[in-house]
Chains A and B, each alone.
Chain A
Amino acid sequence: EADIYQTPRYLVIGTGKKITLECSQTMGHDKMYWYQQDPGMELHLIHYSYGVNSTEKGDLSSESTVSRIRTEHFPLTLESARPSHTSQYLCASSEYKAGSVEQYFGPGTRLTVT
């Protein structure tokens, strides 16, 4: 079983608030990812990290920022939440396995901005 955790699982917050979604993994994986998923829609990569102090923006434009100060921790921050940020946010990490990449997902954070 994968050891990747996200908190909070559910969050309802007002417009304009600053929020941080937490993601931690205990597997020592260098590569971590944040995905955004609207109901019934595909996953979109918004940020990824190859290791400590390495972060990149993904395919989907996002107003969020991330940091990677420790291998196990990859928090995502919204400086000023808006209703358009209402979505599910999934964190993942990956490792090379048998010549390819095995990706592990956290349980997700369902964010509602009112």
Chain B
Amino acid sequence: KNEVEQSPQNLTAQEGEFITINCSYSVGISALHWLQQHPGGGIVSLFMLSSGKKKHGRLIATINIQEKHSSLHITASHPRDSAVYICAARLGGNQFYFGTGTSLTVIP
């Protein structure tokens, strides 16, 4: 069993839809990262969370430490949001556990 589980694995949405990607983890963490990986492999760090909620433009990330759960929301989705979104849990030190990713396709 992976220490970090994401759902759904694949998601197709119409442009403009509100999107939620979920991440659950089973280990104690010091921070949780949301990453975006575009076709071709480039990875961009979207958020680093240790508590509460963060917002960057149309992206919102929340974390509930007690429930060991985080969500990534995309409002007013756009085809350029199509990518793989990866949740990564950082343990103490510099050890990370990564989820397998959620592949998002936004259709015009």
Contact = CB atoms under 8 A, between A and B. Distances in A.
B48 A108 contact: no
Interface in B1-55: 2, 4, 30-31, 33, 35, 40-45, 48, 50
A42 B41 contact: no
A42 B99 contact: yes
B41 A41 contact: no
B94 A31 contact: yes
Residue of B41, B45, B48, B50 with most partner-chain A CB within 10 A: B41
A43 B100 CA distance: 7
Contacts of B83: none
Interface residues of A, number: 28
Given A40-B100, A42-B99, A100-B90, A90 B43 contact: yes
B43 to A, nearest CB: 4
Contact of B90 (A42, A48, A101): A101
Main secondary structure, interface of A, reads strand
B66 interface: no
A105 B2 contact: no
A43 B95 contact: no
Contact of A41 (B31, B44, B100): B100
B31 A104 contact: no
A45 interface: yes
Contacts of B45: 2, 102-105
Interface of A: 2, 31, 33, 37, 40-45, 48, 50, 59, 88, 90, 92, 94, 97, 99-105, 107-108, 110
